[in-house]
Amino acid sequence: METKTKISGAEAFIRSLLHEGVDTIFGYPGGAIMPVFDALYDFDKHVNHILTRHEQGATHAAQGYARVSGKVGVCLVTSGPAATNAITGIGDAMMDSTPMVVITGQVGAALLGSDAFQEIDVVGITQPITKWAYQIRKAEDIAWAVARAFYIARSGRPGPVVLDFAKNAQFEKIDFDYKPCTFIRSYIPIPEVNTDQIVAAAALINQAKKPFALVGQGVILANAEQELKAFLEKGNIPAAWTLLGSSAMSTDFTLNKGFLGMHGNVGPNLKTNECDVLIAIGMRFDDRVTGDLSRYAKQAKIIHLDIDISEINKNVKVDAPVLGTAKETLAALTEKINTASHSDWIESFKEYEEREFEKVIQKEIHPTTAEITMGEVIRKVSEATNNEAILVTDVGQNQMMAARYFNYTKTRSMVTSGGLGTMGFGIPAAMGAKIGAPERTVCMFAGDGGFQMTIQELGTIMQEQIGVKMIILNNHFLGMVRQWQEMFFEERYSFTKMQNPDFIAIAKAYRIEGTEVSARENLDAAIADMLKDDKPYLLVVNVEMKGMVFPMIPTGASVSDILLG
C-alpha cells in the first residue's frame, strides 16, 4: 500500500485503515470529515462503507460487527453533534470491552479553541470512556496514530479508541509510510502468566468439595472456549455464565448450569452462596451478578482469572488472583488440577432446576393463558433456527427473557448492551452483526420502546438489504420499568404505558416485509415465514401487557433472596 508520491492526509488515513485489515466502516459524512469521505470514494472496492441514519446507529453497528467477527469495529463521523451522538456507543463499548475505533472530524488546527462552527472538545469528552483518545493535528501523525489506535483497541482487554481528525491534516500532503504498532512503552496489554498464581489457584480447586465457575465474556474475547471446556471437564466443575458470557458454553453442555444475576437461574445464584471455591473467569463481579456484596459468597475461597489487574479486588476480595488472558491461564490451570468427580454437588443443582421449571419456566414457554408470552416467542424462534442463530437484543424485559430462553450451539452468538444497558442498541447492533457474520441468521429482539429509539436505522437495512430478522415483543409498555413500578412503587404506572404506531406499516414504508401476530395459533407460521429466506423481516408479536421476568433478585438484596414470583 506504500506510495512514493505525496498523497493527502485523507488518503493516507484510508490506506492506514486498509493496512489494519479494515473491510467495513459504519458512518455518516459531514463537513469536517468530508476530505476523508472524498478519499473513500476511490477505495470502494477495498472497503465497504455502510451509511447509517444516525451516528449512534453507526457506533452500535460497529459494536455488533466487532462482537461477532472478533475484528475491530470502525465508525467514521463528522465533528460537533456527530461526535456527541457517538458518545453513547463509545461508552457502551467501553463498559462491554468491545474493540472499536471511532474517527471524528474536527475543525482545522488553526481554529481550535475558537468555538468554530461544529467544534467541540472531543478528546476531553471521550477520554474517560475510551482506552485512548487522540487528536490528529498534522498529516505526518496519521499513520502513527492509526497504528497505535488499532493496537490499543484490540490488544489486552479490548475497548474503544477515538481519533479526532483536524480538517487541515486531511488536506495536507505527505509521503506515506505505514508501520504497524506492536509495542507501547508502559502499556502491558497481556500480563505474563505467574506460575505461583496458577499453583495457588490449583491448590484451592484440588481441595474443593463444591467448586463453582462463573464464566464471563473474557473467555469469548480470548477465544478460550475450548480451554474452558477442557478445564471444566477435567475438574468436573459446574459453571454458570454472565449476560455477556452467553454462548461461551453451548446450552446443552452438561456442566452448563445456566444464567447468573438479577434475572438469572435459581440454581446458579443460590449455589454462589453454597460453594466452597468460586472460580471467576473473565468477569468483573458486576452488581447485577453479585447483589449485596456484604452477603456475596462469604463462605467461599475466591479465584479470579482476569486480564485486567484493575478488576482484581475491585468489587470482591479474592484469595487467589490469576492474571493473564483466559486462553493461557485456563490451559495452565488445567494442567495443574486433578481429575475430579463432584457428582453429589452437581446433582444438588437439580432440585433448584426442577423448582424453577415448575414455578417459572413451564408457565413462560408453555403458557396455558390465552395471551402470548415473551418466553414462548423467544424459545420458538431459537428452536426454529436449530439454536444456531446469533441473538441480538435491545434492553429491558426483552433482553432478560432472551438471555433466559434463547439457546446456543455456537460461540459469539449473543450481542447485547450489558454494562450501559442502552435502549436503542438492538436494531443497529443487529445490522453490524449480520455484516460481520453474513452466513449466519441474526435474530434481534426488542421491546416496543427500545425499537422506536433507533427506528430510523430501518433505512440503512433497506438501502443495504441487510437480512436481519427483527422481532418486536410488543406489550404497549416500557416493560421493565413497569415491572419495577408494579413490584416496588405500588403499581403507580407513571409514564410507562405506550401508544404505538403501526410498526408493520412503517416497515412497509421502508420496503421491509413483515407481519403482526396476536393469536398463538398464528405464531409458528409467522416465524417460519420470517426465516424462509435471508431478507430483512419484521415480526411484531403482541404479548401479554403485564408479563413479569422472574426469577428476580431485588436491588440491594442478596443472591440468596431470589424471588420466583
DSSP per-residue codes, 221-241: HTT-HHHHHHHHHHHT--EEE
Give percent of the chain above pLDDT 70: 99
DSSP 339: P
Active site residue 456: no
Q: In the CATH hierarchy, which fold is given to the domain comprising 7-174?
A: Rossmann fold (3.40.50)
Active site residue 37: no
Q: Which residues contact 560 (CB under 8 A, 6 or more apart)?
A: 269, 270, 273, 295
- Strand 239-241 relative to strand 211-215: parallel, antiparallel, unpaired? parallel
- Strand 7-8 relative to strand 173-174: parallel, antiparallel, unpaired? antiparallel
* Whole-prediction pTM: 0.97
Q: Which of 34, 43, 118, 353 is catalytic?
A: 118
Q: Which of 1, 6, 117, 299 is catalytic?
A: 117
The answer to whether 433 and 390 are in contact (CB under 8 A) is yes
The CB-side HSE value for 117 (13 A sphere, CA atoms) comes to 4
- List the chain domain ranges: 7-174, 195-348, 370-542
Instruction: Say how many Å lie between the first and final Cα of the chain, rounded.
Output: 61
How high is the pLDDT of residue 7? 97
Q: Which of 167, 229, 327, 469 is catalytic?
A: 167
Q: In the CATH hierarchy, which fold is given to the domain comprising 195-348?
A: Rossmann fold (3.40.50)
The answer to whether 103 and 163 are in contact (CB under 8 A) is yes
Q: Which residue has the higher pLDDT, 456 or 4?
A: 456
Angstrom CA distances, 62 to 69, 98, 502, 544, stand at 10, 9, 29, 33
Rounded CA gap, 152 and 161, in Å?
7
Mean pLDDT, rounded, of the chain: 97
Q: Is it the case that residue 4 has pLDDT exceeding 90?
A: no
Q: Which of 11, 13, 20, 55 is catalytic?
A: 55
Q: Which of 374, 414, 480, 548 is catalytic?
A: 480
Rounded CA gap, 513 and 535, in Å?
8
Active site residue 167: yes
DSSP 191: P
Q: Is it the case that residue 2 has pLDDT exceeding 70?
A: no
Q: Hey, is 524 helix, strand or coil?
A: helix
The answer to whether 56 and 97 are in contact (CB under 8 A) is no
Decide yes or no: CATH 3.40.50.970 for domain 370-542: yes
List pLDDT tens digits, range 102-158.
999 999 999 999 999 999 999 999 999 999 999 999 999 999 999 999 999 999 999
Q: Describe the strand order of the beta sheet including 442-447 as a list of residue ranges.
A: 414-415, 390-393, 442-447, 469-474, 537-542, 513-517
Give percent of the chain above pLDDT 90: 99
Active site residue 231: no
Q: Is it the case that residue 352 has pLDDT exceeding 60?
A: yes
How high is the pLDDT of residue 5? 78
List pLDDT tens digits, range 438-494.
999 999 999 999 999 999 999 999 999 999 999 999 999 999 999 999 999 999 999
Active site residue 480: yes
Q: Which residues contact 366 (CB under 8 A, 6 or more apart)?
A: 376
Mean predicted confidence (pLDDT) in 401-406: 98
The CB-side HSE value for 53 (13 A sphere, CA atoms) comes to 16
Q: Hey, is 100 helix, strand or coil?
A: strand
List pLDDT tens digits, range 314-339.
999 999 999 999 999 999 999 999 99
Q: Is it the case that residue 254 has pLDDT exceeding 90?
A: yes
